[in-house]
Chain A
Amino acid sequence: MDGNAAPRGRSLHRFANPGRFMRLSGAVLPWVAMLGIAVSAVGLVWGLGFAPRDWQQGDTVRIMYVHVPAAWMAMGGYLGLAIASFTSLVWRHPLADIAATSIAPVGAVFTAICLITGSLWGKPMWGTWWVWDARLTSVLVLFFLYLGHIALTSAFDEPERAARPAAILALIGAVNLPIIKFSVDWWNTLHQPASVTRFDAPAVHVDILWPLLIAGLGFLFAFAAIVLLRMRTTILERRARALMLARAAEARAPEAVPA
């Protein structure tokens, strides 16, 4: 029963590196989580309660303080998913797979927040909950890409076997990122063009821009904290699974295991 010993040896090697990750992330996680809550709270309270109204949208503009940071996280999260998938495919780094599976559901939630708040914003300002313009449609496609990634990774009984097809799906979907970003420049859309990331000055007044940027930073810390927590949980789950499998193998064939 040589076949039994080989995978066990490999699985121990696989978690040599995640062990260091567990120590580092354990030390960093409380701080990132606290920053996520505190900075998001400052940005949101400032934006929702104290920032000035907008010259054309009045108080409705305050939806922006949730909508825009959520949109940044939706796209930044997918960029992270694509980088993790690339690292996983090229260098076969076990942490990269775990990062990808941990990012996808969080990114999907932030994309859903972006879509829902955008719809709530569109009704009073544009006069419609939804249109099939290039920006809105490409963000909906981003949401489905996240869902597809989640479905694919959970379709396999052994999470390690899902890594490669899921990484390929994530990389193919990455072509959607520039489409989302530039959809408002390449085609006529109902959604307005970029306000913050422009070549000249941002078209958002500083009194509105500061709380927006702070909320964005807070969302970034919160996103990172949730992903770190999920990565740690996944590593512990896989460790427990490997231990249980090893124990089951020992119980089944005690004579094959060297003493």
Chain B
Amino acid sequence: MSRKKRRLWILLLCGLGLGTATALTLTAFEDSLVFFFSPSDLAAKPMPPDRPFRVGGLVEAGSVVRSTNAEGRMETAFLVTDGARSLRVTYTGILPDLFREGQGVVAEGRLRPDGSFAASTVLARHDETYMPPEVADALKRAGHWQPGQPPPPAALWNTLTAPATN
């Protein structure tokens, strides 16, 4: 075997070893690598009370209740859902502009004794869909997209030729 070939094989083997080690490490630390838990994760693996964590999902359609508390600050209560389960979240303060029903959110805070989630921070999480407002309106008018739901699959509305909805 020539020296070049030997170096090639040594490097490939090192790469394989490094890749395996990294994959094993990342799998072992899976729980601390996720940025948030879904309501279903929490049902499967309950969090101890008073431990801060993040919960993420979509704001359930029709669940948002806004009020003003005694100090005149805006209070919002809503359900965060992942489709299977939902969690009641309350938050005092100004929400991000993107916050609305059907929108992804990540709330940071801790569980109350009654099982609801007291958020100290609410971040908006938008999905990977980008389209002009006119296309979104056309999809909703045509009944392809129910309000308060995530957008329909891209294959329905996006092709590399100009779509008929324009």
Contact = CB atoms under 8 A, between A and B. Distances in A.
A47 B158 CA distance: 18
Interface string A184-206: 00111110111100101111111
Interface string B21-52: 01000100010011111100000000000000
A201 B124 contact: no
B71 interface: no
B131 A55 contact: yes
B118 interface: no
Contacts of B126: 56-57, 125-126, 192
Interface residues of A, number: 45
B130 A89 contact: no
A187 B35 contact: yes
A91 B14 CA distance: 17
A207 B132 contact: yes
B54 to A, nearest CB: 9
A189 to B, nearest CB: 5
Interface string A207-218: 111000000000
B123 A127 contact: yes
A12 to B, nearest CB: 23
Contacts of A133: 35
Contacts of B129: 55-56, 195, 203-204
A90 B5 CA distance: 8
Given A127-B95, A201-B153, 4 more contacts: A179-B22, A193-B128, A195-B128, A208-B132
Interface of B: 4, 7-8, 11, 14-15, 18-19, 22, 26, 30, 33-38, 56, 95-98, 103, 106, 121-136, 151, 153-155, 157-163, 166
